[in-house]
């Protein structure tokens, strides 16, 4: 048996399809606040324990985002690089059929690692129900992550936190690790609000220019050359970006990039976690004890899941960005206010999220006497 606690998980469903060889798992962690919501990932080393941890993270993330969703997650154990598009479609459709009893009654899926708007369309088509996924193409009434909701939320969280501290984004220097969907939109909005992005990285390295990297120019380079390192500026290693002398650091790609080896070399005064789990809590504590403002992942990158909620409500992109603005602003402020005394923003945010979940459980009569 897997470990459970007073929060969950409520359901663990492992599935297998003989015809395609599809092996997957869906975990619904807690639905006190609403249907379980979390993405589907496709990775070759997927484990049920990993999906359970991710589902719990979604319970806290959705509660902290203050949207009426519970926490869930699912995954398919497969290597998309080792299959044709047709094979991938067949496996995704097989997974959809196997979790038919869960969606959308208990779980609403969304895109995650190696799963895009196309796969969300396959699932909705296979089950003949547009409600079973979010992140669908706009042609199917969806609000795909390509609209930039996550990156916008990251930028807004930074802006709100900086202003809460009585400062302004104007002229603040920024380094962005990871120049994909999230990193590019974070760049776009931070630049519009007066910040100066001086470094960006991808898997091939880092480009650094103390005079600033203009969004339109760097984005064009990335699109055409497939790497930011082809852009004009000083070329550095991928890990060098974490040690640059900047005001704001945005780890936005891989987990555990801030470690015991480099944490003391971080010079930024704000660390906004656009990626999931870029640092363990003990590493964040080292930063926070030095006075660094850490904006935890499940607060900073919640724009995507807020967008998913808006999609389920049938709202358009304009309304979605308004809701993301309202939610990110309010939740960042309440976290910053609660963290005033000890600067422990993660503890503050976790406390808020847990309170919201437990309040819903109390109303439903789920709490044991």
73, 77, 196, 347: which is the annotated catalytic residue? 73
Q: Are both 265 and 132 inside the same structural domain?
A: no
CATH number at residue 49: 3.40.50.10860
Q: How would you classify the pairing of strands 40-43 and 70-77?
A: parallel
Q: Are both 209 and 77 inside the same structural domain?
A: no
Q: Are both 48 and 175 inside the same structural domain?
A: no
Residue owning tokens 């847990």: 354
- How large is the average pLDDT for residues 333-359? 98
* Whether residue 353 has pLDDT greater than 80: yes
Q: Are both 236 and 262 inside the same structural domain?
A: yes
How far apart are the C-alpha atoms of 276 and 50, rounded to whole Å? 13
- The domain boundary, picked from 95, 121, 142, lies at 142
- How large is the average pLDDT for residues 98-109? 98
1 occurs within a structural domain: no
- How large is the average pLDDT for residues 189-193? 98
How far apart are the C-alpha atoms of 327 and 331, rounded to whole Å? 6
Q: 368 pLDDT band (50/70/90 cuts)? A: confident
DSSP codes, 29-79: EE-SSSSEE--EEEETT--HHHHHHHHHHHHHHHHHHT-S-EEEEEEEE--
Q: Would you say 143 and 319 are in contact if contact means Cβ atoms under 8 Å apart?
A: no
How far apart are the C-alpha atoms of 148 and 128, rounded to whole Å? 27
366 occurs within a structural domain: no
Residue 60 is predicted with a pLDDT of 97
Residue 369 is predicted with a pLDDT of 64
Q: Are both 175 and 235 inside the same structural domain?
A: yes
Report residue 135 CA to chain centroid gap: 13
125 occurs within a structural domain: yes
Q: What are phi and psi of 107, to 5 degrees?
A: -145, 140
What is the torsional sign of CA 102, 106, 111, 113? negative
Q: How would you classify the pairing of strands 205-208 and 234-236?
A: antiparallel
19 occurs within a structural domain: yes
309 occurs within a structural domain: no
Q: What are phi and psi of 205, to 5 degrees?
A: 145, -165
180 occurs within a structural domain: yes
Q: What percent of the chain clears pLDDT 90, i.e. is strictly above it?
A: 96
Three-state DSSP at 109 gives strand
Nearest to 107 by CA among 66, 72, 56, 152: 72
Residue owning tokens 């599935």: 15
Q: 1 pLDDT band (50/70/90 cuts)? A: confident
Q: Are both 137 and 154 inside the same structural domain?
A: no
43 occurs within a structural domain: yes
Q: Would you say 252 and 154 are in contact if contact means Cβ atoms under 8 Å apart?
A: yes
Three-state DSSP at 366 gives coil
Q: Are both 161 and 41 inside the same structural domain?
A: no
Query: Tokens in use for 241?
Result: 């970006």
DSSP helix, strand, coil percent of the chain (3-state; round to 5)? 45, 20, 35
Q: 344 pLDDT band (50/70/90 cuts)? A: very high
Domain span at residue 50 reads: 11-57+70-142
- How large is the average pLDDT for residues 336-358? 98
- How large is the average pLDDT for residues 283-308? 97
Q: Are both 212 and 245 inside the same structural domain?
A: yes
Nearest to 248 by CA among 328, 186, 335, 324: 186
How far apart are the C-alpha atoms of 291 and 354, rounded to whole Å? 25
How far apart are the C-alpha atoms of 150 and 88, rounded to whole Å? 26
- How large is the average pLDDT for residues 173-195? 97
Residue 146 is predicted with a pLDDT of 82
DSSP codes, 237-273: -GGGGGGS--SEEEE-S-SS-B-TTTGGG---SEEE-
For 212-245, how does the pLDDT look when each residue is reduced to its tens digit (9 = 90+)?
999 999 999 999 999 999 999 999 999 999 999 9
Q: Are both 186 and 291 inside the same structural domain?
A: yes
Burial of 363 (0-12, 13-18, 19+ CB in 10 A): exposed
- The domain boundary, picked from 86, 108, 142, lies at 142
Q: Are both 102 and 215 inside the same structural domain?
A: no
- The domain boundary, picked from 142, 161, 186, lies at 142
Q: Are both 108 and 124 inside the same structural domain?
A: yes
How far apart are the C-alpha atoms of 145 and 111, rounded to whole Å? 8
Asked about 73 being catalytic, the answer comes back as: yes
* Whether residue 200 has pLDDT greater than 80: yes
Name the average pLDDT for the chain: 96
Split into its structural domains, the chain has a count of 2
Residue 156 is predicted with a pLDDT of 98
203 occurs within a structural domain: yes
How far apart are the C-alpha atoms of 52 and 37, rounded to whole Å? 13
- How large is the average pLDDT for residues 146-171? 97
Q: Are both 221 and 203 inside the same structural domain?
A: yes
How far apart are the C-alpha atoms of 34 and 50, rounded to whole Å? 22
CATH number at residue 172: 3.40.50.720
Q: Would you mind telling me the total number of residues written for the chain in this entry?
A: 369
For 67-97, how does the pLDDT look when each residue is reduced to its tens digit (9 = 90+)?
999 999 999 999 999 999 999 999 999 999 9
């Amino acid at each position: 048996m897997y470990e459970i606690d007073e929060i969950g998980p409520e359901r663990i469903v492992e599935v297998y399809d003989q015809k395609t060889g599809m092996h997957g798992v869906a975990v619904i962690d807690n639905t006190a606040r609403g249907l379980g919501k979390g993405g589907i990932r496709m990775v070759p080393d997927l484990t049920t324990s990993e999906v359970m941890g991710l589902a719990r993270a979604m319970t806290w993330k959705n509660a902290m985002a203050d949207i009426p969703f519970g926490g869930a997650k699912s995954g398919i154990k497969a290597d998309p690089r080792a299959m044709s598009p047709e094979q991938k479609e067949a496996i995704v459709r097989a997974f959809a059929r196997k979790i038919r009893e869960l969606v959308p009654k208990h779980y609403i899926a969304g895109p995650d690692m190696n799963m895009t708007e196309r796969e969300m369309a396959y699932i909705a088509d296979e089950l003949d129900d547009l409600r079973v996924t979010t992140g669908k193409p706009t042609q199917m009434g969806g609000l795909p992550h390509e609209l930039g909701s996550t990156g916008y939320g990251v930028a807004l969280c930074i802006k709100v936190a900086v202003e809460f501290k009585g400062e302004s984004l104007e002229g603040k220097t920024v380094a962005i690790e990871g120049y994909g969907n999230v990193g590019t939109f974070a760049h776009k909005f931070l630049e519009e609000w007066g910040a100066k992005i001086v470094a960006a990285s991808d898997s091939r390295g880092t480009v650094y220019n103390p005079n600033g990297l203009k969004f339109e120019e760097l984005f064009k380079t990335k699109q055409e050359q497939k790497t930011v390192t082809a852009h004009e500026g000083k070329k550095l290693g991928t890990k060098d970006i974490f040690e640059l002398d900047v005001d704001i650091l945005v780890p936005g790609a891989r987990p555990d990039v801030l470690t015991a080896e480099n944490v003391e070399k971080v010079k930024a005064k704000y660390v906004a976690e656009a990626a999931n789990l870029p640092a363990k809590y003990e590493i964040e504590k080292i930063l926070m004890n030095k006075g660094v403002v850490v904006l935890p992942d499940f607060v900073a990158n919640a724009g995507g899941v807020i967008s998913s909620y808006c999609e389920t409500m049938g709202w358009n992109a304009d309304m979605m960005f308004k809701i993301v603005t309202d939610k990110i602003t309010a939740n960042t402020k309440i976290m910053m206010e609660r963290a005033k005394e000890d600067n422990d923003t993660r503890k503050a945010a976790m406390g808020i999220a847990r309170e919201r979940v437990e309040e819903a459980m109390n109303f439903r009569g789920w709490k044991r006497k």
